[in-house]
Each structure stands twice: as C-alpha cells, then as structure tokens.
Structure 1
Amino acid sequence: MLIDEPVSAETTSTGRPSQITGPRGRYRVRRVLEEWQAPGQARFYRLQVATPDGPAIAEVLGPQTPGTAPWTLHRVWS
C-alpha cells in the first residue's frame, strides 16, 4: 500500500528507527532489512515491523540530517 505520509520515529543510538508512529498507528521495528542513501538524498530503510494486525514490511525515508525533518512512511506490505 502506497502511503507517503509524515510520521515520527524513535531511533537507536546509531540513528536507525526502532518505532514509527503516525496516523495509521504505531509500528515496532523488529529488524532493518535494507538501508541506503544516495548522495544528497534522504536515507531509505526497508524494515520488518510489528503492527496491530501482525508482521509487515515497511519502507521509510529518514531525514538527510538527523533531527531536521520528519520521517516519511512510504509503503507498508502485510
């Protein structure tokens, strides 16, 4: 499901998301599956998350500079 909405994220000491919260609810990150960043672009994460409906995969965009912009929940697959 394509979402593209702003969310807030709690992060670990390394800056990776540990929990994502937005209008659709709260997702606890179980594992980071992929992470990359193109030069000058936002950091992209593909995450295994726990939702109220069960496990899912989420794509999230983090800010280019930590703490400067909201995170974006791009997609979720159940």
Structure 2
Amino acid sequence: MLIDEPVSAETTPTGRPVQLSGPRGHFRVRRVLEEWQAPGQARFYRLQVTTPDGPAIAEVMGPLSVSAGGWTLHRVWG
C-alpha cells in the first residue's frame, strides 16, 4: 500500500529507526532489512516491523542528517 505520509521516528544514536509513529499507529522495528543512500539524497530503509495489524514490511525515507528530522513512510505491505 503506497502511503507517502510524514511520521516521527525514535532512532538509535546512529540514526537507524527503532519505532515509527504516525496517523496509522505505532510500528516497532524488528530489524533493518536494507539501507541505502544515493550521494546527496535522503537515506532509505526497508524494515521488518510490527504494526497494529501484525507483522509487515515498511519502506521509509529518513532525513539527510540525524538531527534534521522529517521521516516519511512510503509504503507498508504484509
């Protein structure tokens, strides 16, 4: 399901998300499946998450820097 909505993220000191919160609820990150970043672009993550409806895969875009904020939940599928 394509979502493209802003979410807040609790992160580790290195900037990896451990929990996402937004209008669709709270998603606990079980593990990071993929992480990539093109030069000068925001970092993308594919995550294994636990949602209110059960386990799923989420794709999120993080901010350009750890302190910048501004996470986006692109899609979730389970």
- How many percent identity over aligned positions? 79
**Can you give the 5+ residue segments of structure 1 that lack an aligned partner in the other structure?**
none
Unaligned runs of 5+ in 2: none
Count of residues paired in the alignment: 78
Q: 1:76 maps to which residue?
A: 76
> Match for residue 33 of structure 2?
33
**Inter-partner Cα distance in structure 1 for 2:38 and 2:4:** 19
Per the TM alignment, residue 67 of structure 1 is displaced from its structure 2 partner at its CA by 2.1
- Give matches, 1:1-78, under 5 Å: 1-78=1-78
Distance, in Å, in 1 between the alignment partners of 2:47 and 2:16 is 10
| Cα-to-partner distance string for 1:22-76 (whole Å, 9 max, x where unaligned) | 0110000000000000001000000000011110000000001122141000000
SS in 1 for 2:38: coil
In 2, distance between residues paired with 1:59 and 1:53? 17
Q: Structure 1 stretch 18-27 or stretch 65-74: which is displaced more? A: 65-74
